[in-house]
Amino acid sequence: MFGFSRSQYIAFLVMVALIIVSPFVLYPVFLMRVLCAALFACAFNLMLGFVGLLSFGHAAFFGMGSYVTAWTMKNWHLDAFFAIGLGGLTGAVLGLVLGYLAIRRSGIYFAMITLALAQMVYFFCLEAPFTGGEDGIQQVPRGYLFGFIDLSNDMTMYWVVAAVFLGGFLMIHRIIHSPFGQVLKGIRENEPRATSLGYRTDDYKLIAFVLSCGLTGIAGGTKALVFGIATLTDVHYSTSGEVVLTTLLGGLGTVFGPAMGALIVTSMENYLAQAGAWVTVIQGAIFMLCVLAFRRGVIGEIANWRKLTL
Amino acid sequence: MITIFGVPGPLLFGQLLLGLINGAFYAMLSLGLAVIFGMLNIINFAHGALFMMGAFVAWILLDSLGIGYFPALILAPLIVGAFGVVLERTIISRLYKLDHLYGLLLTFGLSLVIEGLFRNAYGSSGLPYRIPDVLQGATNLGFMYMPNYRGWVVLAAVVVCFSTWAIIEKTSLGATLRAATENAPLVQAFGVNVPRLITLTYGAGVALAAFAGVLAAPIYSVNPNMGSNFINTVFAVVVIGGMGSILGSILTGFGLGVIEGLTKVFYPQASATVVFFVMIIILLARPRGLFGKAA
């Protein structure tokens, strides 16, 4: 099912088992943070790992998803399902517009363009009245899912977040292993050849970008719901940088890498919270270390060592 | 009072001057990025952090050694440039065989480290740097009062930008550099030490950023975020201009600064985003940038 190989199947079962067991051992709010970051990184990896395009502006989709979910929950008292769905839709629509502009260039230009466009979204959020400027949207109620599941309980919320993450994870896995995903990998490896085979590579890239941004919006919306807050940090370019680090550290172009990266990066932030600005220094140093000596990432190294596909 | 399009003259010229100053920084930074990209095929994400470092080195020179503004204008670029040479030799040179994206990621990590270290040491509130006595005060130009320091910044930036252009386009060193950009193995076959040329190019590009940082120190407060505030806009400038031409980078930088200044007068809400709007228009009309070569 879902095109898992044997090793991936085992890894998936281990991951699900961890997701089920961990809230009884660890603080559920921390785990929800990990799961949101993991979905964000998986969605990002769809672009960088499988299409080979580095988006340095994914914070725009994460942040806008987060704002829209928070705003609709607070002002329209929507059902959590629709609020998160609207967050995802916002990410996808924004992704369609910005992606349409950005895919005109590739390589480092793509990275610079997405960074600049996301910076524009950041300035928009800074000025626009509905985002609450520097304060953000605070005290967002978690509300109800499907009208009857009360999300104010942390454990209930945890299972919902876990379901959202697994849904997104399986969807991405399915996308990667579909014929569509094979074309994406073909474009990554040799774009002119894909073009000569008759594929409209720009359309493929744009569809992948929209899917990635939609899932990113869902991750942002879920995060806003869990913490009851949507702020400028979510749209800031440091968030874009962090998701790149997460994916790189976990393992670029692997299926399980981004989730592993999210676990490491989020734990690091959690336990180093007192260290203040040193967190940035350590993150930067890890970034450089990854690029210089550790380009496969944690999962990529394990896969390479055991000769597995993960 | 003179009014132009219903706007008081002094306000218009004042904002134009501010625009020119921002444009001067865009020009110097995007020029450095273009020179580095031409030789190393790397987008130097740490450019903003090195710009900030230039300002800090000037501040430290004044604060702890009592070395003033004008010596700092030469010393700071040399110190930061030397730092850049060390970086290139020890770290960046390991990436030339890899995808360009790794260079971007490495220098991004580098900028996090540099900014984080300065934030730890000096906080993020910003330190004042006094305008040197010679450049204090303002001059009456007839249509407006121009603060002397701001005039000096524009002048210095223009001189530095065009000297860089002249070195690259008109000297034999520049000719070697341009040849190596086109075809490095061939130039190496002629006996030119290309790796050293690459190192020096990176050092020079970084020194240019540091020079801009020293110029910026008295205008903006010296703080660890001053580079990252600039660099995102500079990337948009680079996309608009395309990295194919030195003169193009300079013109685009100044031009966009002026456009930003004018937007501040006529439609202030959009002043932070106008550069990005221009970028969108350029992407739609001419994706390779105003001065870019066809891919």
| Cβ density class A54-73: b for 16+ within 10 Å, e for less | bbbbbbbbbbbbbbbbbbbb
In a domain, B291, yes or no: no
Residue B47 lies in a domain: yes
Q: How far is B227 from chain A (nearest CA, A)?
A: 14
Is the residue at B66 inside a domain?
yes
Under the banding of pLDDT at 50, 70 and 90, the label for residue B95 is confident
pLDDT of residue B15: 86
Average pLDDT, integer, range A53-71? 94
Q: Which residues of B touch A295 (CB under 8 A)?
A: 98, 102
- Residue B20 to residue B250: CA distance in whole angstroms: 12
Angle, alpha carbons A245-A251-A252 (nearest 5°): 80
ipTM given for this complex = 0.87
pLDDT band at B81 (very low <50, low <70, confident <90, very high): very high
pLDDT in tens, B30-46: 999 988 888 888 889 99
Picking from A104, A115, A126, the nearest residue to B232 by CB comes out as A115
Side chain identity at B82, as an amino acid letter?
A
Return the higher-pLDDT residue of B135 and A161: A161
Q: CA neighbours within 13 Å on the CB side: how many for B267? A: 7
Provide the token pair at A38.
């993991």
Residue of B nearest to A286 (CA): B109
- Does pLDDT of B295 surpass 60? no
Note the pLDDT of residue A7. 87
Mean pLDDT of A56-68: 95
Residue A230 confidence (pLDDT) above 80: yes
Q: What is the mean pLDDT of residues B193-216?
A: 92
- Do the chains contact at B101 and A108, CB–CB below 8 Å? yes
- For B112-136, how does the pLDDT look when each residue is reduced to its tens digit (9 = 90+)? 999 999 998 888 888 888 888 888 8
Give the pLDDT band (50/70/90) at residue B144.
confident
Q: What is the pLDDT of residue A114?
A: 93
pLDDT at A30: 93
Q: Is residue B290 part of a domain?
A: no
Q: How many angstroms separate the first and last alpha carbons of chain B?
A: 51
What is the residue type of B10?
Answer: P
* Structural domain contains residue B172: yes
Query: Considering only CA atoms, which of A162, A149, A150, A148 is closest in space to residue A28?
Result: A162
CA angle, residues A246, A278, A124, in degrees to nearest 5 = 60
Are A87 and A65 within 8 A, CB to CB?
A: yes
B113 closest CB neighbour out of A108, A117, A284: A284
Domain limits for position B245: 3-285
Q: What are phi and psi of B4, to 5 degrees?
A: -125, 120
Q: Is A243 on the interface with B (CB under 8 A)?
A: no
Residue A1 has pLDDT above 70, yes or no: no
Total of domains in chain B:
1
Say what the pLDDT of residue B11 is.
Answer: 79
Average model confidence (pLDDT) for chain A? 90
Query: Quick one: which of A101, A118, A65, A69 has its CA closest to A244?
Result: A118
Where residue A42 falls among pLDDT bands split at 50, 70, 90? very high
Supply φ then ψ for residue A303, to 5 degrees.
-60, -40
Please write the tens of the pLDDT for every residue from A240-271: 999 999 999 999 889 999 999 999 999 988 88
**Chain B contact probe: residue of A119, A240, A247 with most B CBs at under 10 A:** A119
Give the mean pLDDT of chain B.
Answer: 88
Tell me whether residue B293 is in a domain: no
Q: What is the pLDDT of residue B220?
A: 85
Mutate to test the interface with B, among A246, A248, A288 (most CBs of B within 10 A): A288
pTM of the model: 0.90
Instruction: Collect all residues with Cβ–Cβ distance below 8 Å to A301 and sequence separation of at least 6.
Output: A251, A294
Nearest CA in chain B to A54: B101
Percentage, residues of chain A above pLDDT 90: 57
Phi-psi region of B53 (alpha: psi -120 to 50; beta: other; left: phi over 0): alpha
* Residue B185 is assigned to a structural domain of this protein: yes
Tally A–B CB contacts below 8 A. 119
**Residue B45, both tokens:** 């994400």
pLDDT at B216 over 80: yes
The pLDDT score that the predictor gives to residue B113 is 93
**Chain B contact present for A107, CB below 8 A:** yes
Give the mean pLDDT of B59-81: 91
**For A201-219, what is each residue's pLDDT tens digit?**
999 999 999 999 999 999 9
Question: In the predicted model, what is the mean pLDDT of residues B164-175?
Answer: 90
Please give the Cα distance from B111 to B117 (Å, whole number).
10
Q: Is residue B292 part of a domain?
A: no
pLDDT at A2 over 70: no
User: In this predicted structure, what is the pLDDT of residue A302?
Assistant: 87
Cross-strand partners of B138:
B147
Report CB contact under 8 Å: A291, B232.
no
Residue A109 above 90 pLDDT?
no
CATH code for the domain in which residue B85 is found:
1.10.3470
> Would the CB atoms of B113 and A288 count as touching at under 8 Å?
yes
Question: Which tens digits make up the pLDDT trace of B238-294?
Answer: 888 887 788 888 999 999 999 999 898 888 888 888 988 898 888 888 888 888 765
SS3 of residue A144 by DSSP: strand
pLDDT at A181: 92
Q: Domains of chain A, with CATH numbers?
A: 6-306 (1.10.3470)
Per-residue pLDDT, A301: 86
